[in-house]
Structure 1
Amino acid sequence: MYPSFFLAHGLPTIVTEPHGYSRFLRALGTQLPKPVGIVVFSAHWQSEVQTIGAAAEPETLHDFFGFPEELYGISYPAKGNILLAMGIGRLFDTEGIACALDDTRGLDHGVWTLLSLMHPAADVPVVHLSVNPLLVPEEQYRIGRALQALRSEGIMIVGSGGTVHHLGTMHWQDDAAELWAKQFDAWLYDRITVWDSDALFDYERRAPHAAMAVPTAEHFAPLLIAMGAADRGRRAKLLYQKYQYGTVSLGAWMFS
C-alpha cells in the first residue's frame, strides 16, 4: 500500500535555488516506487465545497508575484485523470462529503513545485484537490480518511502546505529558525509520532505558539488530510525538517 505524505512546499524558489529540501525531494522521488497516479490537496486552492480537479491537461498556474522571472517560465505538463477524479468523487459521496468536479482548474504552485522536483518527467497523472480552511480539524482528517482505499491502488496522496507558515515574520537574510517555530514543530512531532489525534484536533489550544505558527489554517489542513489517508495503519515518520527564512517550515512526513 502506497504511503500518504505531507510535504511542505515552502516558497516557489525551492525549484530554482539550491536548497537541501530541493535535494531531498529529488531523492525521495527516485526512492519511491513510481505511483499510478498522484492526488494533491494544495493549500493554494481554497473552496467551500471540496473540489476535485478534472482537467485532462491542467495548465501550470503561476499564482504568485514578485519572484524571479525564470519561475514564470516553468511548465509542468502532467496529464489529469478524469477516471481517478470521478472515483474520488464516488468515495466522497459514500462518506457523505459534498464535492464537485472542476475541469478548468490548473495546477497551482503548491502542486507543481513539489512534483517538478520529485517527478520531473511529468509522466504520472495528477489530480489536484482543494482545501476548505474553515472546516474543523476532525473534518479535514475525515476527508483524507475517505480516500485511503486509493493507496492500495498505487495512488500517492499528498497534502501540500506547511506546519509553520508565517510570511509576515520571515527574515530574508538567513534560514535560522525562530524558537517559537521550532517549539511548535517539536510539539507536533511528539503528537504525530504517537498518532494523538485528540491533541492534534485541538492544536489551536494545546500547541505552543499555535497562533504564530498557523495564522491561517489553509497550510495546516493538508497535514490532517494526509494523516487521515493513513488512518488504518497510523504509522508516521518524519523524513525531513528544516526552515526557510526562519518562519516557513520545510517538513516532510510519511504516513502508512
Structure 2
Amino acid sequence: MMPSYFVAHGAPSLVLEQHAYTDFLKKFTAAAPKPKAIVIFSAHWESRTQAVSTADTYSTIYDFSGFQDELYQMTYPAQGDSSISEAIAQLLVKNGIPSVMDSERGLDHGAWAVLKLMYPAADIPVIALSVNRFLTNEQQYQIGKTLSSLREQDILIIGSGGVVHNLRMLNWRGGNTPEEWAVEFDGWIQEKLENWDLEALFNYEQLAPYAKEAVPTSEHFIPLLLVMGTGDGNRQAKLLHRSYQLGSLSLSCWEFN
C-alpha cells in the first residue's frame, strides 16, 4: 500500500533553495516507487465545501509577491485524471461529505513548489484538493480516512502545509535556529502523532504548548490531519525529516502507513 505524506512547503522560494530539506525531498522521491497519480491537499486552496480538481492540464498560480523573478517563470504543467477525480467525489458522497468539482483552478505554490522538487518531470497525474478551515479537526481526519482506499491503487496522497508556520514572527537575523516555542510545539505534536493520540491532536489548540504561536491560522496545519486520516488503518506515523527556517517555520515531512 502506498504511504501518505505530509510535507512542509515553507516559503514560495523553497523550490529555488538548496539545503537539507530540499535535498531530502529530491532524494527520497527519486528512490521511491513512482505513484500512479498524486492527490494533494494544499493549505493555499481554501473553500467552505471540499473542492476536487478536474483540470485537464494545470496552469501555474503565482499566489505570492516580492520574490525572485525566476519564480514567476516556473511552471508545473501536470495533467489531471478525471477518472480519479470522479472516484474521489464518489468516496466523499458515500461518506456524507459534500463536495464540488473544479475544472478551472491551477496549482498554487503550496502544490507546485513541492511537486517540482519531488517530481520535477511533471509526468504524474495530479488531483488537487482544497482545505476547509471551518471544519473540526476530527472532520479533517475523517476526510483523510474516507480517501484511504486510494492508497491501495498506488495513488500517493500528500498534504502540503506547515506544522509550525508563523510568518508574523519570522526572525530574519536568526538564520535556521528555531525559536524555543517552535521546538516545544513540534515535540508535542511528534509525541502525539507517534502514539496516534487522536483526542489530544483534535484538541491541540487547547492542549499543545505555544499552539497560538505555532498555528496562528489553521490552514497550514489542516493538511497534517487530513493525511493522518489516510493512515487510520495501520496507525503508524514516522518523522522522516525536520529542520527550521527563520525561527518560526518548520520544514518537516511525516510518513503515514
Is residue 138 of structure 1 aligned with residue 152 of structure 2? no
Q: How does 1:10-21 map to 2 (within 5 A)?
A: 10-21=10-21
Are 1:121 and 2:121 an aligned pair?
yes
Contact 1:4-1:226 at 8 Å conserved across structures: yes
Q: C-alpha distance in 2, partners of 1:228/1:103? A: 26
Residues 97-176 of structure 1 correspond to what in structure 2 (within 5 A)?
A: 97-173=97-173, 174-176=175-177
2:158 alignment partner, SS class:
strand
Query: C-alpha separation between the residues in 2 aligned to 1:25 and 1:13?
Result: 15
TM-score, with structure 1 as normaliser: 0.99
Alignment of 1:1-256 (within 5 A): 1-173=1-173, 174-256=175-257
Amino acid in structure 1 at the alignment position of 2:93? D
In the alignment, the residues of structure 2 paired with residue 175 and residue 202 of structure 1 have an alpha-carbon distance, to the nearest angstrom, of 29
Unaligned runs of 5+ in 2: none
Letter of the structure 2 residue corresponding to residue 249 of structure 1: S
Displacement of 1:172 after TM fit?
Answer: 1.9
SS of 1:6 mapped into structure 2? strand
How far is the alpha carbon of 1:28 from its aligned partner? Answer: 1.4
The whole-number CA distance in structure 2 between the counterparts of 1:17 and 1:131 is 26
Q: Alignment identity in percent?
A: 48
RMSD: 0.6
* Aligned residue type for 2:158: V
Q: CA deviation at 1:77?
A: 1.1
Give the Cα–Cα distance (whole angstroms) in 1 for the partners of residues 129 and 109 of structure 2. 13
Q: Which structure 1 residue ranges, 4+ long, deviate > 4 Å from structure 2? A: none
Report deviation, 1:43.
0.2
Deviations for 1:205-227, whole angstroms, at most 9, x for unmatched residues?
Answer: 11000011000000000000000
What secondary structure is seen at the aligned counterpart in 2 of 1:254?
strand
Using the alignment, how far apart are the partners of 1:188 and 1:73 within structure 2? 37
Deviation at 1:26, TM superposition (A): 0.1
Provide the C-alpha distance between the structure 1 equivalents of 2:102 and 2:153, rounded to a whole number of angstroms.
23
Q: Which amino acid aligns with 2:207?
A: R
What amino acid maps onto 1:176 in structure 2? Answer: T
Q: Kindly provide the amino acid, as one letter, of the partner of residue 229 in structure 1.
A: T
In structure 1, distance between residues paired with 2:109 and 2:25: 15
Classify the secondary structure of the residue corresponding to 2:241.
strand
Return the alpha-carbon distance in structure 1 between the equivalents of residues 245 and 88 of structure 2: 33
Q: Name whichever of 166-175 and 140-149 sits farther off.
A: 166-175
The 2-side partners of 1:215 and 1:15 are apart by 24
Q: Distance in 2 between matches of 1:243 and 1:81?
A: 35
**Letter of the aligned partner of 1:180 in structure 2?**
W
Per-residue Cα deviation, 1:152-204 (whole angstroms, up to 9, x for no partner): 00000011000111000101231110000000000001100010011000101
Letter in 1 for 2:89: G
* SS of structure 1 residue aligned to 2:16: coil
Report the secondary structure of 1:15's partner residue: helix
Q: Which amino acid is 2:219 matched to?
A: E
Note if contact 1:14-1:21 (Cα within 8 Å) is conserved in structure 2: no
| DSSP 3-state at the match of 1:122 | coil
**Deviation readout 1:102-142 (Å, 9 max, x if unpaired):** 00010010111111011111110000000001111000001
1-side partners of 2:123 and 2:242: how far apart? 28
Q: Equivalents in 1 of 2:227, 2:28: separation in Å?
A: 17
* TM superposition score normalised by structure 2: 0.99
